[in-house]
């Protein structure tokens, strides 16, 4: 499946913000890391579905060593063209 590295940042009032540097449309603010990561795959799939409807290529995942990842439940890594 398609998987992107995530960034976690402290938010206001003790909340956590999860973002994907490669998919800037994905921003989640949650009460905990677990809650943020639980919500992220569904939001990622909705965003990627929008990319597909608009005929936009999926962003390539960055290689951020040690970063936690959010994986799509619906979309796979595109096959290499060549």
Residue 26 sits at φ, ψ, to 5 deg, of -90, 110
Tell me the C-alpha distance between 5 and 71, whole Å.
9
| 78 pLDDT higher than 80 | no
What is each CA distance from 75 to 13, 33, 44, 72, in whole angstroms?
A: 34, 23, 10, 6
Tell me the C-alpha distance between 82 and 68, whole Å.
31
33-59 tens-digit pLDDT: 999 999 999 999 999 999 999 999 999
Distant-in-sequence, close-in-space partners of 10: CB < 8 Å, separation ≥ 6: 16, 17
- Band (pLDDT 50/70/90 cuts) for residue 77 is confident
Arithmetic mean of pLDDT over the chain: 92
């Amino acid at each position: 499946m398609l998987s992107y590295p995530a960034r976690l940042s402290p938010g206001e009032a003790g909340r956590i913000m999860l973002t994907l540097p490669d998919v800037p449309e994905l921003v989640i603010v949650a009460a905990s890391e677990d809650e943020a990561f639980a919500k992220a795959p569904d939001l990622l799939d909705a965003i990627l579905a929008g990319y597909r409807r608009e005929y936009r290529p999926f962003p390539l995942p960055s290689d951020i060593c040690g970063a936690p990842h959010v994986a799509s439940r619906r979309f796979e890594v595109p096959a290499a063209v060549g």
